């Protein structure tokens, strides 16, 4: 995994933008600590920062073949098959990197190569002869790609901070939060509309999309999307197929020339991945290393509830023993969890999911001391219906984003300068546009159609938020995290899997439980869903409040004009007064104040203007 960036223009000499390209490279340094490279011509500058995982010696970038030069961030999981097919067409190879295979696949098939790729990727190829840039992003959106285009130039980067780094050389990149950006940030955040970069002029290439950029301008095309297809498998066939798909996805994603481990929380999803990886390692005569995270004194202050029914530690220990893994437990300090909120924001380039982000950053930092690659269980809940909003009838058919059901909480705590006056109407229109993207089968009943809509919403919105979190927090530590549930074959099958099979025997993710029950302990196989762990320790909330108050008093800070200070004082005094989460299931009162700390730290760090 890596970081990429670039500057393309047919009206200015890009060779004069070397300082900008160097600044963008520096902004990506954490994503690629092992190597760096820059390729510059009069019309194109490409930047690469490398985290070396496969073909350490032969995979340097930017990589050139004839007239074409590539910068690439990702992993192809069908490299061997593509290499064999290309070799049959006469291609020879210098090394065994997937970068070389990808570049030659593009030269051979052009953009049709995308139909053959299986993996996670964001890449750009500059064709010097045609004077065209081609860019593509993977189908599910695991690897990020942001860009800015103003009619004179195209500037791109793996993450928002890479674009901001180029702002001194391009006035349009100065980070500004206009009216639309404020709506995105304050009414949807930490979610974003597909394609939005929140800041004025910033865009994200959507999952499953590619673009061409040349002298005639910019052209974007969607090459993959969720399509409704009739499901013909019976119960046992579906169980077997889900198992075989995930077994193959894990097997493919264990390929690495550097140490690899798994995250193991003791929840269903991470336990399945760890059990599959552990079985593969045993075949090799090797021992899998697994990792879990907890907080200092967590048991003392843990509160069981609807969304967090039980602690993870006992279940992680059960599974580690079952797998025979060497298990590592990372215990996080609660005050430090608050102190790194600004760092998490700086890496993400936007205010995000509060301590869910900062804890992941610290967790990944600890793993990176011994490992370079890991597997994680993201996406199973979105694809197989694990979240409460799939199951609660009072929420299921509401016309709203189920993880952020209204603007009431935000309007209560933020000022009109932040949320505006028509927030509910705007949010409803955004929601309706999101639902309208759903592909349905003719004649589907209301519940089947609604479950497809929920899949679409979760895939385009909630899942993208979590994938962005996992990518930015792990890559900030130079750690590559792979997500086998995001294999496009699993996504396509799950989209067309009837609800009665997903929810087999009336249990959330019932089909996953049935498919892998034999590999899990009974406690884990039938454990009620529990999300990524958060701390309940009062020391965390105390430290967050200290940081919030400091930020509120910062000279020139924007918080006083963006929040309702009196309403927040009431919430400080009665933290139970927040009746609905700010976002998702876990962003309660401590996380609201943590998000405000992130907000101010973000505006200070990047000099964000309220346009």
**Alpha carbon of residue 122 to chain centroid:** 13
Altogether, the residues listed in the chain come to a count of 611
How far apart are alpha carbons 365 and 359 in whole angstroms?
10
List the beta bridge partners of residue 263. Answer: 291
3-state secondary structure of 294: strand
Query: Tokens representing 535?
Result: 């701390």
- Whether the CB-CB separation of 338 and 534 falls below 8 Å is answered with no
How far apart are alpha carbons 171 and 168 in whole angstroms?
7
3-state secondary structure of 271: helix
Which residues 6+ apart lie within 8 Å of 354 measured at CB?
341, 587, 590, 591, 592, 594, 595, 598
3-state secondary structure of 196: strand
How far apart are alpha carbons 8 and 334 in whole angstroms?
45
Which residues 6+ apart lie within 8 Å of 265 measured at CB?
271, 292, 293, 312, 315, 316, 377, 530, 532, 533
Which residues 6+ apart lie within 8 Å of 601 measured at CB?
341, 342, 345, 346, 551
Catalytic site residues? 2
Instruction: Please give the backbone phi and psi of residue 326, each rounded to the nearest 5 degrees, phi first.
Output: -90, 110
**Cα three-residue angle 287-292-298, rounded to 5 degrees:** 150
Strands, E assignment, 109-243 = 119-127, 132-137, 146-149, 153-157, 176-177, 203-204, 209-214, 217-222
């Amino acid at each position: 995994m890596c970081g990429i960036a670039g500057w393309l223009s047919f009206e200015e000499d890009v060779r004069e933008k070397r300082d900008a390209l160097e600044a963008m490279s520096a902004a990506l340094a954490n994503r690629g600590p092992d190597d760096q490279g820059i390729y510059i011509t009069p019309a194109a500058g490409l930047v690469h920062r490398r985290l070396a995982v496969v073909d350490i010696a032969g995979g340097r970038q930017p990589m050139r073949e004839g007239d074409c030069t590539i910068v690439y961030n990702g992993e192809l999981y069908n490299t061997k098959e593509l290499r064999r097919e290309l070799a049959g067409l006469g291609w020879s190879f210098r090394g065994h990197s997937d970068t070389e295979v990808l570049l030659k696949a593009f030269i051979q098939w052009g953009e049709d190569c995308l139909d053959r790729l299986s993996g996670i990727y964001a890449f750009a190829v500059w064709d010097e002869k045609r004077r065209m840039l081609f860019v593509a992003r993977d189908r599910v959106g695991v690897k990020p790609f942001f860009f800015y285009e103003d009619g004179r130039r195209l500037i791109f980067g793996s993450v928002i901070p890479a674009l901001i780094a180029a702002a001194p050389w391009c006035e349009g990149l100065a980070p500004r939060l206009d009216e639309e950006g404020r709506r995105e940030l304050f009414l949807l955040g930490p979610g974003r509309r597909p394609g939005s970069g929140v800041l004025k002029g910033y865009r994200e290439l959507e999952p499953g999309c590619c673009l061409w950029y040349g002298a005639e301008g910019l052209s974007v095309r969607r090459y993959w999307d969720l399509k409704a297809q009739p499901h013909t498998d019976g119960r046992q066939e579906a169980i077997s197929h889900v198992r075989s798909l995930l077994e193959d996805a894990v097997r493919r994603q264990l390929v690495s020339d550097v140490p690899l481990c798994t995250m193991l929380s003791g929840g269903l999803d991470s336990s399945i991945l760890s059990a599959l990886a552990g079985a593969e390692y045993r075949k090799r005569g090797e021992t899998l290393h697994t990792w879990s995270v907890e907080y200092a004194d967590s048991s003392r202050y843990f509160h069981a509830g609807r969304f967090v029914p039980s602690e993870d530690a006992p279940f992680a220990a059960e599974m580690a023993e079952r797998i025979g893994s060497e298990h590592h437990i990372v215990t996080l300090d609660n005050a430090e969890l608050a102190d790194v909120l600004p760092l998490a924001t700086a890496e993400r380039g936007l205010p995000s999911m509060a301590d869910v982000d900062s804890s992941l950053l610290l967790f990944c930092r600890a793993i990176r001391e011994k490992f370079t690659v890991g597997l994680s269980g993201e996406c199973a809940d979105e694809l197989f219906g694990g979240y409460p909003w799939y199951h609660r009838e009072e929420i299921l058919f509401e016309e709203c984003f189920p993880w952020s059901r209204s603007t009431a909480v935000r309007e209560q705590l933020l000022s009109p300068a932040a949320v505006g006056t028509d927030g509910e109407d705007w949010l409803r229109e955004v929601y309706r546009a999101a639902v309208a993207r759903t592909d349905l089968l003719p004649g589907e009943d209301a519940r089947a159609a609604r479950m497809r809509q929920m899949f679409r919403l979760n895939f385009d919105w909630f899942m993208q938020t979590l994938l962005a979190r996992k990518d930015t927090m792990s890559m900030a530590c130079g750690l590559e995290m792979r997500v086998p549930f995001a294999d496009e074959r699993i996504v396509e099958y799950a989209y067309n899997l009837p609800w009665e099979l997903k929810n087999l025997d009336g249990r959330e993710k019932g089909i996953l439980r049935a498919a892998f029950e034999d590999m899990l302990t009974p406690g884990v196989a039938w454990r009620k869903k529990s999300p990524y762990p958060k701390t309940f320790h009062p020391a965390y909330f105390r430290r967050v409040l200290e940081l919030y108050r400091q930020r509120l008093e910062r000279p020139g800070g924007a918080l006083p004009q963006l929040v309702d200070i009196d309403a927040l004082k009431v919430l400080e005094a009665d933290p139970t007064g927040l009746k609905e989460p700010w976002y998702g299931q876990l962003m309660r009162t401590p996380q609201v104040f943590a998000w405000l700390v992130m907000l101010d730290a973000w505006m200070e760090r990047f000099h964000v203007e309220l346009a």
